[in-house]
């Protein structure tokens, strides 16, 4: 559905000159050779075009840019590391929108170890925040495959999830304060490091997960946690998703919230990884239908989790929940397991045309979802190759069926039929069609289809109130 407010006129040369003078010579890129990397997405080939990529250095510059664009009614596409998977960070292809990257806003402003917070600009790379926390004997738990490239502003704008949500929550749970440039150019300074602040609507939560449609996040106060001092990681073979869910319950009953990562992987995605991405080896000698990568972390002596974890695993094997296991004996081995997990998306990208879903259902219904979705798609596409992995502790599955081996044509062309089967089932099971990647352009229609009219109208009311001219990332997440 096109966005009624979205203008498609090319940006006027006069405005481009004004924008350039705000950021100075090193603050913008022009010409397709330089702007193209900002116009194409990591996945699914969203390809746009822009006359200019603005690279402001300060919040004040962002504010001036937005004021000029608001006056002219020109749309702005905010961008962080451009690793988003839903086409939310690319401009449309008619040269009517400017791209604003926060790449040069990459300063750590303050680390307060008594308050356990770090204050950063939006363009700081996620991995840098993780390293900074580690160097200060703390943990910043947000962790995902793109962490070496994505920026904290993008993580917050998409309310990113990743592998530690089970214990620490998603990006939303890791923020105490935000600074945002609003669609009229005004700066909202909400950079407060407070755990209690009961003074009205909690405005930061509008912008977290807002995908740049309500304003540009320019800074954040993030929560830090104690750095784990004991870690146990294991690669486990399990007979089925049902067994994986039971195993999760067993581990939680034995080790409580020390269960910090619990990732489910189907054999097919491991095959895609091993054939498509060099540098990986199968951790187990023989193949199994499903695997779990499990991690326990705690605060005791380095080996304090070893015995309880091994015992719990032994019990799980006796119960028939686990068929085979490798417990990492070194940090290098553990990192190797996690690298396999992180590279799954790349493996799938290299190996097969698949139709991707980022869904969540209650953890108790994961097995039912997988069984019914596979059966329903196979009925329409015999020989379909099931492929799923995900954060099973959060009920979040990347359910990415690949076309039959002998499929004649591009299986991706079947996405409408496949999406309908998958998303209808997700909704029937009380789930969500987007668990962590967001909506962007990829799932805009689907979201409008499945969300209740009351919820869509509330979203539109907020959008119209904060961005009456519709200049913030139009055509993404919500239409006017």
Ligand X SMILES: Cc1cc2nc3c(=O)[nH]c(=O)nc-3n(C[C@H](O)[C@H](O)[C@H](O)COP(=O)(O)OP(=O)(O)OC[C@H]3O[C@@H](n4cnc5c(N)ncnc54)[C@H](O)[C@@H]3O)c2cc1C
Does residue 83 interact with ligand X by CB under 6 A?
yes
Residue 402, φ and ψ in degrees, nearest 5? -100, 155
Tell me, rounded to whole angstroms, the distance of Cα 165 from its chain centroid: 11
Least separation, in Å, of the C-beta of 214 and ligand X?
8
Please identify, using beta-carbon distances, which residue of 217 and 313 lies nearer to ligand X: 217
Find where tokens 């499929």 sit.
Answer: 407
Q: How far apart are CA 274 and CA 258, in angstroms?
A: 30
Kind of pairing between the strands at 388-391 and 138-139: unpaired
Does residue 222 interact with ligand X by CB under 6 A?
no
Tell me, rounded to whole angstroms, the distance of Cα 304 from its chain centroid: 32
DSSP annotation of 100: E
Least separation, in Å, of the C-beta of 303 and ligand X?
29
Please identify, using beta-carbon distances, which residue of 78 and 386 lies nearer to ligand X: 78
Going by C-alpha positions, the residue among 291, 257, 279, 307 that lies closest to residue 390 is 291
Contacts to ligand X from residues 439-458, by CB under 6 A: 440
Does residue 400 interact with ligand X by CB under 6 A?
no
Find where tokens 């004004």 sit.
Answer: 18
Interface residue with ligand X, options 91, 212, 283, 474 (CB under 6 A): 212
Q: Which two tokens stand for residue 336?
A: 């190797």
Q: Which two tokens stand for residue 207?
A: 């912008």
Handedness of CA 347, 350, 352, 358 (dihedral sign): positive
Site string for ligand X, 50-69 (x = CB under 6 A): --------------------
Least separation, in Å, of the C-beta of 293 and ligand X?
13
Least separation, in Å, of the C-beta of 311 and ligand X?
30
Interface residue with ligand X, options 51, 88, 190, 386 (CB under 6 A): 88
Q: How far apart are CA 97 and CA 8, in angstroms?
A: 8
Q: Which residues contact 324 (CB under 8 A, 6 or more apart)?
A: 236, 237, 284, 286, 288
Interface residue with ligand X, options 81, 141, 219, 395 (CB under 6 A): 81
Least separation, in Å, of the C-beta of 344 and ligand X?
8
Does residue 183 interact with ligand X by CB under 6 A?
no
Does residue 298 interact with ligand X by CB under 6 A?
no
Least separation, in Å, of the C-beta of 279 and ligand X?
15
Q: CA angle, 145 as apex, 209 and 107 as ends, to 5°?
A: 65
Least separation, in Å, of the C-beta of 83 and ligand X?
3
Q: Which stretch binds ligand X (CB under 6 A): 155-163, 232-240, 243-251, 365-373?
A: 155-163
Does residue 151 interact with ligand X by CB under 6 A?
yes
Does residue 78 interact with ligand X by CB under 6 A?
yes
Does residue 77 interact with ligand X by CB under 6 A?
yes
Does residue 436 interact with ligand X by CB under 6 A?
yes
DSSP annotation of 125: B
Does residue 27 interact with ligand X by CB under 6 A?
no
Interface residue with ligand X, options 27, 56, 145, 386 (CB under 6 A): 145
The site that binds ligand X (CB under 6 A) totals a number of residues, namely 37
Going by C-alpha positions, the residue among 136, 53, 140, 60 that lies closest to residue 98 is 53
Please identify, using beta-carbon distances, which residue of 451 and 476 lies nearer to ligand X: 476
Does residue 354 interact with ligand X by CB under 6 A?
no
Interface residue with ligand X, options 64, 96, 102, 130 (CB under 6 A): 102
Task: State the distance between the two ends of the chain, measured CA to CA, in whole angstroms.
Answer: 10
Q: Which residues contact 152 (CB under 8 A, 6 or more apart)?
A: 80, 120, 122, 123, 124, 125, 126, 129, 220, 222
Please identify, using beta-carbon distances, which residue of 149 and 333 lies nearer to ligand X: 149
Interface residue with ligand X, options 56, 91, 161, 470 (CB under 6 A): 161
Q: How far apart are CA 125 and CA 154, in angstroms?
A: 10
Going by C-alpha positions, the residue among 116, 222, 211, 215 that lies closest to residue 177 is 222
CA dihedral (249, 252, 254, 260) in degrees, to 10, reads: 140
Q: How far apart are CA 269 and CA 314, in angstroms?
A: 27
Task: Please identify the residue of the shown chain whose CB is closest to the bound ligand X.
Answer: 154
Please identify, using beta-carbon distances, which residue of 321 and 397 lies nearer to ligand X: 397
Positions in the binding site for ligand X (CB under 6 A): 42, 77-85, 88-89, 102, 122, 144-146, 150-151, 153-155, 157-158, 160-162, 211-212, 216-217, 345, 436-437, 440, 473, 476
């Amino acid at each position: 559905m096109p966005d009624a407010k979205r203008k498609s006129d090319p940006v006027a040369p006069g405005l481009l000159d004004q924008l350039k003078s705000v950021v100075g010579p090193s603050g913008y890129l022009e010409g397709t050779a330089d702007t193209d990397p900002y116009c194409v997405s990591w996945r699914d080939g969203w390809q746009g075009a822009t006359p200019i990529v603005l690279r402001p250095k300060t919040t004040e510059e962002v504010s001036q840019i937005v004021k000029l664009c608001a006056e002219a009614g020109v749309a702005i596409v905010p961008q962080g590391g451009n690793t988003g998977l839903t086409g939310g960070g690319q401009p449309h292809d008619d040269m009517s929108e400017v791209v604003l990257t926060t790449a040069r806003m990459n300063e750590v402003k303050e680390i307060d170890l008594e308050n356990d917070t770090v204050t950063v600009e939006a363009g700081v790379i996620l991995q840098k925040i993780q390293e900074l926390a580690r160097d200060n004997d703390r943990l910043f738990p947000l962790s995902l495959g793109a962490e070496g490239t994505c920026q904290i502003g993008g993580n917050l704008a998409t309310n990113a999830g990743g592998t530690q949500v089970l214990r620490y929550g998603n990006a939303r749970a890791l923020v105490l304060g935000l600074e945002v440039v609003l669609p009229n150019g005004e700066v909202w300074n909400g950079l407060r490091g407070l755990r209690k602040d009961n003074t009205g609507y909690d405005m930061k939560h509008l912008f977290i997960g807002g995908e740049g449609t309500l304003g540009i996040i320019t800074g954040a106060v993030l929560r830090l946690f104690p750095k784990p001092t004991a870690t146990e990681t294991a690669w486990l073979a399990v007979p089925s998703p049902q067994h994986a869910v039971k195993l999760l319950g067993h581990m939680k009953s034995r080790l409580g919230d020390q269960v910090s990562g619990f990732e489910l992987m189907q054999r097919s995605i491991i095959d895609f990884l091993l054939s498509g991405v060099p540098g990986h080896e199968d951790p187990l000698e023989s193949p199994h239908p499903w695997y779990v990568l499990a991690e326990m972390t705690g605060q005791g002596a380095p080996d304090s989790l070893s015995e309880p974890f091994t015992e719990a695993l032994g019990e799980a094997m006796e119960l028939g929940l686990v068929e085979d296991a490798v417990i990492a004996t070194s940090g290098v081995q553990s990192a190797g397991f996690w690298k396999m997990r992180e590279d799954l998306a790349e493996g799938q990208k290299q190996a097969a045309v698949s139709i991707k879903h980022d869904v969540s259902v209650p953890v108790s219904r994961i097995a039912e979802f997988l069984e019914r979705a596979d059966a329903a798609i196979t009925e329409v596409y015999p020989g379909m190759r099931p492929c799923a992995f995900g954060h099973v502790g959060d009920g979040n599955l990347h359910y990415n069926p690949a076309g039959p081996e002998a499929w004649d044509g591009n299986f991706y062309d079947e996405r409408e039929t496949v999406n309908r089967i998958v998303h209808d089932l997700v909704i029937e099971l009380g789930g969500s069609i987007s668990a962590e990647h967001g909506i962007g352009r990829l799932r805009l229609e689907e979201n409008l289809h499945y969300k209740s009219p009351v919820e869509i109208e509330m979203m539109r009311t907020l959008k119209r109130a904060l961005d009456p001219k519709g200049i913030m990332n139009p055509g993404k997440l919500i239409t006017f």
